[in-house]
Structure 1
Amino acid sequence: MTDSTEQLAPMPADWRRALAVVAHPDDLEYGCSAAVAAWTDEGREVTYLLATRGEAGIDTIDPVTAAPLREREQRASAAVVGVSEVVFLDHKDGVIEEGLALRRDITAAIRRYRPELVITLNHRDTWGGTAWNTPDHRAVGRATLDAAGDAGNRWIFPELAERGLQPWDGVRWVAVAGSTTPTHAVDATAGLERSVQSLLEHRSYIEVLTDQDPEAYCRTFLTANAQGVAARFGGRPAVSFEVFGR
């Protein structure tokens, strides 16, 4: 069992490019955009890769209408924290299949963007206790951990090399946001306000999720999360990650 008082290590800093891979619009904003803001402030390149457009996430909006709406909101949200490249894979929201097609798509993106750091969201069955995780999160998180290795193996998905995507064995870490067993953290002080504004860009989703004022909801949620990590990071509000080295 992880010691809940053990201090978290600072995230590795000797990298220039990161690829963040998640299932839906807003996954990164709920999970780690304050860290992304800090990284882009330092001149690091961060690219977002989303498996879906979140088209099945709003009960009151038909998926055909929701998909372009949520894509626009995600691009605006990413821009708030300094991310200009947002890529969508066109898997179907809610029914992402964990398998070779998903691994291949993520492997292709890793080879294209050549990150040293790959970021994803909690891939485990629960969020801790009995809070069950979604199939999409589990599938994308697990496929991302696998693809970090696939990207460097020329015998796995050789068809990618035929498309000009040569193997990339430069991924050094996969950092999982939203883990209940974190190992590292990033100071959220400088990026916290921008993380609030970034999540707020997902207004169409948030307005059906809560009866609270959207900005108050975003600020309360993200501030509480960051403060919840502080005791394990020298008293500083932070974003935590479980880091898998490679």
Structure 2
Amino acid sequence: MEKTLAEEIGAWLLSEMDSRPKKRSTTYLLGKHWEVLPDVWPPDPVTRLFTTWLPFTAGSRFLEVGCGAGMTCVVAAQHGCASVVGLDINPQAAENTLLNAQRHGVSDLVTAYTSDVFDALDSSAKFDMIFSNPPQIKMAVGREHSMGAEAAALDPGFMMHRRFFRHVGEFLAQDGRIYMGANEAVGDAPELERIAAEAGFVGRKLRTEPVQIPAALIGLTPAVKAAADEHGILSLDVSMFEFRRP
């Protein structure tokens, strides 16, 4: 059976991660160098888009669920957030976030914890902005994955999305806002909106922009070729949604 476009892109993303050198490295985005530890998903053009789209407010309390290498947490602190917390199920990602906070001079504002969604937070914690770019690849329920890089990419049955919205209200300030990234090529934006609505949140699509990838990088399978333009380019929409209480 031929794979869908989402399955092809998902397999490519994981193969890219598997092929990365298993050693500490750096990457360059937003005019800065970022440390990347082994088995941490590196900041990429989608990370850049979401980070620049977030409406950071001076003095606000910011939480990122799935902080990865910590670029968004660092930028939040640099844009005036009074306190910044990063959470990630991957212990190396939490360490990576602290490394980049130190590298860019905001270690006094940024804290990071190893956490399965909100598990590491104190029950009294409240945030004005909560952001997540969750695992986007909606695999079948029962698909096993590691707790490292694959956990940043795979969300069998969108179960992480469901857990997020089931508990996020406990940590959101009364007038707070939730921001969530969505890759509409490999994810399921309509289901994301349904899950949020079932949890009592009103949502809207804040921004959308295509990210272009040469189809040959993924592999010229039938699904990929059908989606590519005449120049062999895939144009994949990524979006940011904003959610709030009614």
TM-score category (smaller protein)? 0.3 to 0.5
TM-score of the superposed pair, with normalisation by structure 1: 0.40
Greater fraction of residues in strand: 2
Greater fraction of residues in helix: 1
TM-score of the superposed pair, with normalisation by structure 2: 0.40
Q: Greater relative contact order (Cα 8 A, min sep 6): structure 1 or 2?
A: 1
